[in-house]
A = this chain, B = another copy of it.
Amino acid sequence: MGKDLSVRLCGVKLRNPVIPASGTFGFGLEAADWFDLDLLGGISLKGTTLEARPGNPTPRIAECAGGMLNSVGLQNPGVDALVREKVPALRKRFSGAIVANISGFSEEEYAAACAAADRCADIDLIELNVSCPNVRHGGMAFGTDPKCAAAVTRAVKEATRKPVLVKLSPNVTDIVAIAQACEDAGADGLVLINTLLGMRIDIKTRRPVLANTTGGYSGPGVFPVAVRMVWQVARACRIPVVGCGGVRSAEDVIEMMMAGATAVEVGSENLRDPQACPRIVAQLPEVMDRLGIENLKDIIGIV
**Binary contact track A202-226/B, C-beta < 8 Å → 1, others 0:** 0110111000001001001111110
CB of A121 closer than 8 Å to a CB of B: no
Check A22 for interface membership: any CB of B closer than 8 A.
no
CB < 8 Å neighbour of A255 from B145, B200, B254: B200
* Complex Cα–Cα for A144 and B41 (A): 38
Interface centre among A140, A214, A228 (most CB of B within 10 A): A228
Q: Which residues in chain A, 14-58, are within 8 Å of chain B measured between CB atoms?
A: none
Q: How many Å from the CB of A228 to the closest CB on chain B? A: 4
Complex CA gap A144/B177 in Å reads 14
Among B174, B225, B258, the residue within 8 A (CB) of A203 is B258
How far does the alpha carbon of A173 sit from the alpha carbon of B145 in the complex, in Å?
A: 9
The CA-CA distance from A204 to B171 in the complex, in Å, is 30
In the complex, chain B residues whose CB is within 8 Å of the CB of A224 = 64, 66, 69, 196, 198-200, 217
Instruction: Answer yes or no: A231 CB below 8 A from chain B CBs.
Output: yes
Instruction: Tell me, yes or no, whether A201 is within 8 Å of chain B by CB.
Output: yes
Q: How far is the CA of A188 from the CA of B288 in the complex (A)?
A: 54
Distance to closest chain B CB from A258 (angstroms):
5
Contacts of A196 in B (CB 8 A): 224-225
Docked Cα-Cα span, A200 to B140, in Å, equals 30
Task: Tell me the minimal C-beta distance from A198 to chain B in angstroms.
Answer: 3
A146 to B67, CA, bound (A): 31
Instruction: Let me know if A227 is at the binding interface, CB within 8 A.
Output: yes
Does A173 lie within 8 Å of B198, measured CB to CB? Answer: no
Q: Is A197 an interface position by the 8 A CB rule? A: yes
Extra 7 A-B pairs, beta carbons < 8 Å, given A207-B303, A221-B222: A65-B223, A66-B222, A66-B223, A145-B173, A172-B172, A197-B225, A217-B224
Closest 10 CB pairs of A and B: A198-B224, A66-B66, A221-B221, A66-B221, A65-B220, A199-B228, A64-B224, A172-B173, A144-B173, A199-B227
